[in-house]
Each structure stands twice: as structure tokens, then as C-alpha cells.
Amino acid sequence: MAECTKKWEEIAREYRRYIRLEKNLSPNTVECYMRDLAEFAHFVLRMYDVPPQRVEPQMIERYMSWLYDQGRRRTSQARRLSGIKSFYNYLLLGDRIDTLPTEFVESPKFGRTLPDVLTVEEIDRIISVIDISTAKGIRDSAMLEVLYSCGLRVSELTSLRLGDLFFGEGYIRIVGKGDKERIVPVSSAARDKVQLYMERRKPRRDSEDTLFLNNRGQALTRIMVFTIIRKAALMAGIDKRISPHTFRHSYATHLLEGGASIRQVQELLGHENIMTTEIYTHVDRARLRETIEDKFDDLNLLALD
């Protein structure tokens, strides 16, 4: 078993370099891929004690069954299988294997869950409950305004730099997944709040160019942003599953409701594949259907009266 474990560790190190440098994946995505690969390797070593090159389709199917028995969500199962396929595609490209053991392993079937969406009024309520009499409150208010009005991922928000702000021209520059840049219009409300925050901002030498900082002058983490949003939503009395991504979902939905095309929304969100953007057309239709049903309910009530 020691020899096979050594093989897994050796190839895993090479694969990490490949997805980080060649595929240009973000550090968070790299860590996610490597955690999933380590779990799969542990399963294979424990059950079959073979190196990566000798894994067979039935071993992967057995692993997928094990995930199911563990109660893992279907989305989690599908993500792990996607990671395994990526790993074996890498081995095939490097002539380490002749055939893909993943080729006929099917991904679990699941319906796509529509994300929770906040109304414009709910967004305003969340931002308005923040106490802007403090430096922290001024920062939080500016941060949430930028998060929503520019439709950012939380990682894009926390990595924003002063050099990305082009307020005179009315936009900010976003460095998204795979270091791909895009230009996004910035609202006057976001611009004004950021400028007010800049008057209180106190960076450390190693974070001078980072826009949003914690009270120690360092860059905010994703968890900090998540906590700030959850607390503000609770204070605003909003009972929905809310995360930083909820603001991005809401931004996209509101753009479509306002008449933006799916292509325009794709560009603003930085989606590489338009199919990712198309989920928001389903959200929009679902909300329209709910509105129509509510109207019919009101009419039925009037008829009964």
C-alpha cells in the first residue's frame, strides 16, 4: 500500500501544478479539486490498493455509490465526479493511461435549484439597517452597495484594488475567474459610498492597494463578508437563505426584469458559458408565474365577495 500511496501523492503534486499554472484555476478552486482527489485516492487505496493508472470504471462507480450511501448531495456527487474526470483527462493527455476509466460513468441526475432572489426593496432594507455612524458601518454599506450594483462574486469583491476604480469614467475593472478581466458600470450610490469610506480607510503597508479592509488594515475574507450580510439581513427582518452570491443572483434577475438581454447579463457577470447565465431566465419566469398566480387568487377572492 505504501508504494501505491506514494504514486498517488506524486501524481497529485504534478496535477496540482497543472491546474494551477496551465489551467489557471483560482486558489480556492485548486484546493477544492485537490481535496476531492485526496478523498477519492483514499477510497481507492483502502478498497483496492492500486495506483491512479490502474483505476477501473467499476472502482469509480463503487466510489459514487459510497458517496450516495454517505448521504452526499447529488450536486456534491456530481462535482466529485467532474473532478475525477478532470484528473483522468490530465493523465490521458500526459500519456499516463490509454483509455479513460471515467468515460461511461454517469453523473447523478438532479434538477437545477433556482437561487433565492431579493427584491430591490429588500436589498435597500439590508443596506439601510447598517449603522453608518461608525467607520465599520461606512465600510459595510459601501461594500454591499458595490457587491449588488456591480454583480460581483465575493472573491472579486475582496480582491478589488484601488487601481481597479475608474469612477471618473463610471466603471470598475473586475478580475474574475481565470484572471479574466471585465469592465462593469458602477452606480453613483456605490461610488459616493466608496469615496466616503476612503476617508476613513486605514491600510497597512502590505495592503495599501486593497480596497476593503478589516479593522486591522488587512484584506477582508469571504467569511467576514458572509457574516456581515447575514447579520444585516437578520436586522432587516428578511427570512431568506442569504449569502454574498444572493446579491449577484438578484443583480442578474433585476437586469433581466429591466430589459437587459441574456448576452448583456452574461458579459456583466463574467460567465464564460451562456448556459450558466440562462438560469436567471428561469428565475425571471418563475417569479412572473408567481405574480400571475397571485393576481388570479386576488380575482377569485373578489369574485367570492
Which of the residues are catalytic?
Answer: 153, 177, 245, 248, 271, 280
Tell me the C-alpha distance between 268 and 272, whole Å. Answer: 11
DSSP 3-state assignment of 276?
helix
The DSSP-derived string for 65-87 is HHHHHTT--HHHHHHHHHHHHHH
Composition of the chain by helix, strand, coil, percent to 5: 65, 5, 30
Neighbours of 36 (CB within 10 A): 19
For 26: left if phi > 0, alpha if psi spans -120 to 50, otherwise beta; the answer is: beta
The DSSP-derived string for 110-162 is -PPPPPP---HHHHHHHHHTS-TTSHHHHHHHHHHHHHHHTT--HHHHHT-BG
Tell me the C-alpha distance between 109 and 73, whole Å. Answer: 11
Indicate the DSSP class of residue 179.
G
Please state the length of the chain.
305
Q: Which three cell numbers stand for residue 198?
A: 476612503
Q: Which three cell numbers stand for residue 166?
A: 475608474
Radius of gyration in angstroms for the set of CA atoms belonging to the chain, rounded to a whole number: 23
**CA 216 to each of CA 144, 156, 183, 204: distance values in angstroms, whole numbers, following the listed order:** 20, 21, 30, 8
